[in-house]
C-alpha cells in the first residue's frame, strides 16, 4: 500500500513558478514511477510527467519546456516545478504512483488545488 500526500501553495501569480511536493509515506521508493497528473476545473486528466528513483524523467511534450520533476529518495518525496504559469495552469494537481513504465496509476494523492492569479 502506497500513501501519497501533496503539499504546496494554493495560489501562484502568473508568470511565476508553481512548486508542489508529494510525500511518500509508505511503499517502496524504488518500485514505482512517481508521477504528476493534473485536472483543470471541469476537465479531464492530463499527465505531466514522471521520475524514477534512478533520476530518470519523462515529460508530457506539451509541457516539457516548463516542467521539472525531481526526487529526494532519502526524504521519500518528489517535487514538481512548473514555470511561467498562466491561468490555464490552474488545476488540481495529483501525485500518483505508477506500476511499470507502460503501466497504470495504482495509488493517488488526494490532490492539491492550485490557482494562478493575474
Partner 1 sequence: SYEVTQSPSVSVSPGQTARITCSGDALPDQHAHWYQQKPGQAPLLIISRDSARSSGIPQRFSGSSSGTTATLTISEVQAEDEADYYCQSVDSTGTYVVFGGGTRLTVL
Nine cell digits for residue 30: 524504488
65 or 104: CB nearest partner 1: 104
Q: Does the footprint of partner 1 cover residue 113 (CB under 8 A)?
A: no
Candidate list 5, 57, 60, 73; residue touching partner 1; CB under 8 A = 60
Site for partner 1 in 11-30 (CB under 8 A): none
Q: Does the footprint of partner 1 cover residue 8 (CB under 8 A)?
A: no
Return d(Cα 19, Cα 109) in angstroms, integer.
16
CB of 118 to partner 1, least distance (A): 26
Q: Does the footprint of partner 1 cover residue 103 (CB under 8 A)?
A: yes
Return d(Cα 26, Cα 4) in angstroms, integer.
8
Return d(Cα 83, Cα 14) in angstroms, integer.
9
Candidate list 54, 65, 104, 118; residue touching partner 1; CB under 8 A = 104
Candidate list 31, 62, 81, 84; residue touching partner 1; CB under 8 A = 62
Return d(Cα 109, Cα 15) in angstroms, integer.
26
Candidate list 12, 22, 24, 109; residue touching partner 1; CB under 8 A = 109
Kindly give, in sequence order, each residue whose CB lies less than 8 Å from that of residue 49, ignoring residues fewer than 6 positions away: 35, 36, 57, 58, 59, 60, 63, 64, 67, 69
Candidate list 54, 65, 102, 118; residue touching partner 1; CB under 8 A = 102
Amino acid at each position: 500500500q502506497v500513501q501519497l500526500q501533496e503539499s504546496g501553495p494554493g495560489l501562484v501569480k502568473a508568470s511565476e513558478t508553481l512548486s508542489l511536493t508529494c510525500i511518500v509515506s509508505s511503499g517502496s521508493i524504488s518500485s514505482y514511477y512517481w508521477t504528476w497528473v493534473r485536472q483543470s476545473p471541469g476537465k479531464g486528466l492530463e499527465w505531466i510527467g514522471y521520475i524514477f528513483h534512478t533520476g530518470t524523467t519523462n515529460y508530457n511534450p506539451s509541457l516539457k519546456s516548463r516542467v521539472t520533476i525531481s526526487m529526494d529518495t532519502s526524504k521519500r518525496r518528489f517535487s514538481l516545478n512548473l514555470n511561467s504559469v498562466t491561468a490555464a495552469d490552474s488545476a488540481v494537481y495529483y501525485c500518483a504512483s505508477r506500476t511499470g513504465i507502460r503501466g497504470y496509476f495504482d495509488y493517488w494523492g488526494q490532490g492539491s488545488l492550485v490557482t494562478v492569479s493575474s
